[in-house]
Structure 1
């Protein structure tokens, strides 16, 4: 069942005529529209006058048939046109939109992810039974409450702007009394899970995955969006399609405002991301741009073809210098020269010389036909991996390193001097 049709029930949309106060005694008749998590006012010509995300509002009853909505910038008073029943219908709709009870609309199930500021649960919709993922950020964060709200609103805005075939779909966003909630398309598993299960990725398989990731990232950069936390566990497989990738978790993403025709290298300064995937310019605490995403994709491609990371667990920066990726292990002997060339291009230290996502898609590796058979490729590369035993296996080793990356993914770069 398509999750695109999910909503939180009858309160998802309501519209009607209301009166708003103008000046001390004046009034104006306008159209009020409530659609899921957005409240807006339009004039008679359907021109939007004012709008706000319901997560940013407080509302309460005014005089007879009057609803007061207050955000950080203004207070709006709406007098509902019609009888008391119409007012009650509006009140209930706004109550459901601004402070919905999660369990009235979704049935949360197992925990599928947890971060520093959010947790993700699998759930199904009571409206149509569709499977979704609920990303929840606690509103009771003390002195950090304003930061959590800004992070939530930014993630909603960026994820909506990023929507495409290979980006996880955002279905709804709202606030309950305790949490800010994003309702998202649910993938079956992550690329990390997939890599754990396989002996190795063939170049043919890796080519299909990397084509999707580079193409989607290139499109994001055209829209002025930098993900800033691309990694194996932020890439999902669409349900029933292990080779169909979805970029997820735009909690660290931001708008660069970059001209798509230019390669910006000095847009951001914020310390976000996961050490193993961080580009060297971020370790040097310099301004950085969309090219950090290309570097992270180089790390991902390296991992797909070798099931190891190209750098130590603490990242590509040691003792004040860049650590060159290693291609000397036996597993790389059966990987094509063009594949290694592409990885090196994505992992260049200088962001100005690093391949962009668009340039990487033009690399000869994507137009090559594998000279080796699929079975031969698998057999040759599998033999290059360490032997399995009860206490040590390539899968366990890779998973241990990946989990260690997660454990240190939120450390503060500003605490380190280089």
Structure 2
């Protein structure tokens, strides 16, 4: 565990939580299956930062930000935060930074796809509609997830979807602009390459439409059993999102559903669905009328900004990275210079993302 001392099964922390096992582990911490000692012994997922990373300002800041985000989120398909703070390890008296959320009894969507392969059309749409519902609630409360993927969707009893892991999320400011609060460094790119929108891969300013793109990738994966863009490296995968045509689904899903997928995965965010609710309405219509392509097209003009409340302290605010597209007719050598410049930021950002458990 990279220097971390695991918590033993049966260990009771501060008289509050009894450790029952491990649910998962990343580079930044461990998620434990735990029981609340008081009351009826409710089971929770206890996320604990590795003690050797307690002094890492970025890891700690990201954790504190995730707590702040979860404290403001409410929704049928979002897991509320139950508790957070510091606990003492009774063996060492070390302080452990933690958060507790309800334990979801069921697999992640990632595990479901890995074991079942392509899902039936109706079930795929049902799961994606639930994800859209979670995003409608999150976006309406000022939060874009920014790392939406099947691993971050949990299925209670295999049916009820919960979107989790907001450690990479951004909060859009309510100050009249489209700026975002963030802990990332200028020109760094964070996220999971297979699910990142082209504007996210470029390091552009983000809004709700980057999550819409990720939902489109998830829908494609549920129907095809694989993601549409998969390179030999994170950088080649990101490049494919920005430049490659969407591989056609080899499965007959009907014209309307195929059109929804294409509309969610358009390279230009301006031509994409403006919101998760727009995409959900298109999916519901495609289910009712599989051949009605016109009715599921994104409507223009439309507003794509998320109306948001003000940002609570103590979130760290930083400028979002901006990358300008090269003008038409620019010499090939300058295109190569531009690609090399953003490639450096992308490669470093992806490396950091992958090595901080996100």
Contact 2:196 2:238 in 1 (8 A): no
Contact 1:140 1:178 in 2 (8 A): no
* Structure-2 residue corresponding to 1:167: 78
Query: Between Structure 1 and Structure 2, which shows a larger proportion of strand residues?
Result: 1
* Structure-2 residue corresponding to 1:327: 248
Where structure 1 has 5 or more consecutive residues not aligned to the other structure, the ranges are: 1-100, 372-407, 414-418
- How far did residue 255 of structure 1 move? 0.9
Is 1:233 the counterpart of 2:173? The answer is no
Contact 1:268 1:289 in 2 (8 A): no
Q: Deviations over 1:318-356 (max 9, x none)?
A: 389522221153xx2x21121111111111111121112
Q: Deviations over 1:45-90 (max 9, x none)?
A: xxxxxxxxxxxxxxxxxxxxxxxxxxxxxxxxxxxxxxxxxxxxxx
Match of 1:135 among 35, 44, 47: 47
* Structure-2 residue corresponding to 1:249: 165
Contact 1:168 1:247 in 2 (8 A): yes
Q: Deviations over 1:287-335 (max 9, x none)?
A: 2222211111111101111111010143653389522221153xx2x21
Query: Secondary structure at the residue paired with 1:189?
Result: coil
Contact 1:224 1:255 in 2 (8 A): yes
Contact 1:170 1:182 in 2 (8 A): yes
- How far did residue 129 of structure 1 move? 2.1
* Structure-2 residue corresponding to 1:28: none
- What RMSD, in angstroms, separates the aligned Cα atoms of the two structures? 3.0
- How far did residue 142 of structure 1 move? 6.7
Is 1:126 the counterpart of 2:16? The answer is no
* Structure-1 residue corresponding to 2:100: 183
With normalisation by structure 2, the TM-score equals 0.68
Where structure 2 has 5 or more consecutive residues not aligned to the other structure, the ranges are: 1-11, 88-93, 291-347, 354-358
Q: Structure 1 residues 342 and 180, CA, compared in 2 at 3 Å: closer, same or farther?
A: same
Is 1:281 the counterpart of 2:199? The answer is yes
- How far did residue 196 of structure 1 move? 2.3
* Structure-2 residue corresponding to 1:317: 238
With normalisation by structure 1, the TM-score equals 0.59
Query: Secondary structure at the residue paired with 2:191?
Result: coil
Is 1:336 the counterpart of 2:248? The answer is no
Query: Secondary structure at the residue paired with 1:341?
Result: helix
Contact 1:316 1:323 in 2 (8 A): no
Q: Structure 1 residues 232 and 409, CA, compared in 2 at 3 Å: closer, same or farther?
A: farther
Distance 1:412 1:299 in 2: 23
Q: Structure 1 residues 365 and 142, CA, compared in 2 at 3 Å: closer, same or farther?
A: closer
Distance 1:129 1:349 in 2: 48
**Whose RCO is larger (CA < 8 A, sep 6+)?**
2
Q: Report the count of equivalent residues.
A: 270
* Structure-1 residue corresponding to 2:351: 411
Query: Secondary structure at the residue paired with 2:271?
Result: coil
Distance 1:292 1:164 in 2: 20
